[in-house]
Every structure is written in C-alpha cells, then in structure tokens.
Amino acid sequence: MKSTFKIMIVGLLVLSMAPANLFAAGFGIYEQSAKASGLAGAWVARADDASANWYNPAALVWLEGSELQFGTNIINTGDSELTSSDPAFGLFQPTTFEQASNLATPIHLYYRHKFNNNVTFGIGVNNPFGLVTEWEDRPITFSAAKSELVTFVINPNVAFRLTEQWSLAVGVDYLTADLENFSREVPIDLDGNPLNGFEVIGFANLTGDGDEFGWNIATHYKSGPITFGISYRSDMTVGIDGNIAFSNFGPLSPLFRDSPGTADLALPETIAIGLGWQGTNWGFEVDAVETGWSVFDTLVVDIENNVPGFVDDIALAEDWDDSLAIRVGAARKLGPNQELRFGVNLEEGVVPEETLRPSIPDADRTAPSIGYGYMGNKWTVDAYAQTFIFDDVTSVGGEEGVIVADYDSSITLFGFTIGRKW
C-alpha cells in the first residue's frame, strides 16, 4: 500500500497560500486604494487622501478636516493555466490545465481626523493578504484543489508635524487570518502497481484561524511641488490553530482521523520609499518597495493525531526570496475637479522554481494601470483598472507537490473608492 505523496501535503502547503492571480508578490495585496492603484501604487510620496493611512500615514498631517473612504477591488481569480508532461503525476504528454474562476473582492475603509495643526489621527481596515484559487482537474488536484485565505487588518495611526516640511507617524497593526478552505485530493495505490491506477482517492481539507499584532512607522517631507516619503511595516508570525478533515478514504478511513493542527504563517516586513513632484497640471512619482518574503523559509505543521506513514508532522523548506517593486505613476488634471492617472509596476516574483506549486505560480510581472478621479469639495470618486502580466515560468520537480510545468498567468483588476470630506 503506497500513497503517491504524504497525506499531510495539505498541511505543508498551508503557508504556501499564494493565488495564481497575484496582486503583489507572494500573497500580498498592495491595491488598497483606487486612487493609488490608478498610479500603479506609486503613492508613498503624494498620499493626499485618507488612504495615506496605509501607504504613508505621516502624510495625513498635511490634510485638513476629516474624511471617510470606502472601496473595493473586483477580481476574477481564474486567469492562470499550466502545461505539464510530468510522469510523476501520470502525465506522459503535454497537457494544459486551467484554473477555475472565483471572484475576490478585497475591501478598504479609512477615516482621518485633524485634531490641530500638529496632530492627525487615522485608522484603516483592509485585506493586505489573501487568496482564492481552485483547480478542478486531476492530477493537479493531487497537489492543490481549493485555497481560500482572508486577512483583515485594523491599523490606527497618529501623525505629528515635526517642522514646516517634515512629519512622522506611528501605528499598530492588528491582523486576523482566516483559512476558510485549503484542500487537496489524496491518491493512494493499494496494490503497489501504478499501472492499475489508484484504488482510493480521498479528500483532505485544512481550516483554521489566528491573529497577531505588528507595528508601522513613516515619515513624510513636503516642500513646494516636491514630496518625499518613507513607510515601514513590521513582519508578523501568525499562529494558525485549525483542524484537518478527511473524507472518502473508504476502508482506510480509520487511519485518517480528523485532527487538530497548528502552523505558523510568516508575513513579511515592507519598506517603501517614494519621491514625487506635483506641477500645475501634471504630477509624477516613483517608488521602490522592498518586501521581505525571505521570512518564509521553512514551513512547520504540527499534527496532533499522527499515524506514522500516513499522517505525519511536516518540516519543509520553502526558501522564498525578498521582492523589489519599482512603481511609477503620472497624473494629468482634466480640470479643477478631475484627474486622469497612469502607472506601471515592475515587480519581482518570490517563489523559486524548486518550490513552485499550482497554488503558488508566482513570477516576475509587469502591471500597467489607468485611473480616473473626481475630486469635489465634499465627495470624491476614484476608479482604476490594472492588468498584471506574469513572465512565463517553469517549475522544477523534486519537492513534494511540485509539478514540472510551464505556467502562464495574467489578471485584470478593477476597483473604486468613494470618499466624503467635511
């Protein structure tokens, strides 16, 4: 009796939760404002509305009065495919598989209030990490079936004016992570003869949740048409307490008992630096954003109800890399209350070819964007569209769950933000 992979590969992938349709490298979501996203996220230096609470909260101190914003992204997460002829997965000629379509709608909500000329308070709620991916065809489902991760961050900040040009902000991040679905099929060869196929194909699904605190600090400089900003967010390690449910194992069911399980979800630090210029009709900004995904080097999953040879604890190398993104944005005023925006994001992938799985088809990407904004005295409306074009990438077999395959991915995002000032 032989299982094609360890049964707990569903566990070893719990921290590899990156969708094929990535917004930022890894499973980060950088699109937290329609105005910023119209500029491809080049927003650390300009940051002139309530969404500065996320991109550079130090810039809040230059804004007058109070403001409330709400917005969302609309993403169909099914624009990825892989082509494989990996005999280890029973593929002996090139076969193409398409990811199933799912709709993701990460949200953002911001509020700011200026207490006096020197102190401003801001708070935001958003989804900085997440995924929805689904593969429906065998043998891809032997590596990954459906994955759903939702995170929420509550992020209060206080911004202080230091001089006529410089400001500083400090804040706290409280993050919750909810692993709603992380499943795969488990093929088992009972007679030891692979030519006869799999006598049992079970199903394993991991769910769980956890929370953690982090912190952030930022500074901002504003003098005439020149703006400059630096924003830092700390890394976090979220302890996930969950449960693994097994089904469809037939006569082997006594070996596959539902079990509590724990794992650590490593989330990266981020440092962003931006330089901007705002003229009468045109504005420009360039940002460099470094994300420390190298914290995700090893995955450890502790399973309470172990059955040696079937349900085992996992310690697996992932070896992700840090990622650098260069974001460039330009804005053209169409009148006193309207603006057209353009941008492009050039960003490195973080997943090595050796650990590239169907649930993590990451790669370098180019992401042009376009946006529009209406800026009234009280109401603001911003909208954007952005396309992520991923470089073709080929995974290398050898690690568990890694299919030798060529990946081809792209995704188009749409989003809007509505604001009210008073």
The confidence score (pLDDT) of residue 8 equals 40
For the record, the structure tokens of 10 come out as 């569903």
The confidence score (pLDDT) of residue 123 equals 98
Contacts of 303 (CB under 8 A, 6+ apart): 8, 11, 244, 259, 261, 311, 312, 313, 314
The confidence score (pLDDT) of residue 122 equals 98
| pTM: predicted TM-score of the whole model, two decimal places | 0.89
| Domain boundaries, given as residue ranges, for the chain | 2-421
The confidence score (pLDDT) of residue 195 equals 66
The confidence score (pLDDT) of residue 13 equals 39
The confidence score (pLDDT) of residue 38 equals 97
Residue 253 φ then ψ, to 5°? -55, -40
The confidence score (pLDDT) of residue 20 equals 40
Fold classified for 2-421: Porin (2.40.160)
Which residues of the chain are modeled with pLDDT < 50?
1-22
CA-to-CA distance for 46 and 301, rounded, in angstroms?
A: 42
The confidence score (pLDDT) of residue 199 equals 84
The confidence score (pLDDT) of residue 102 equals 83
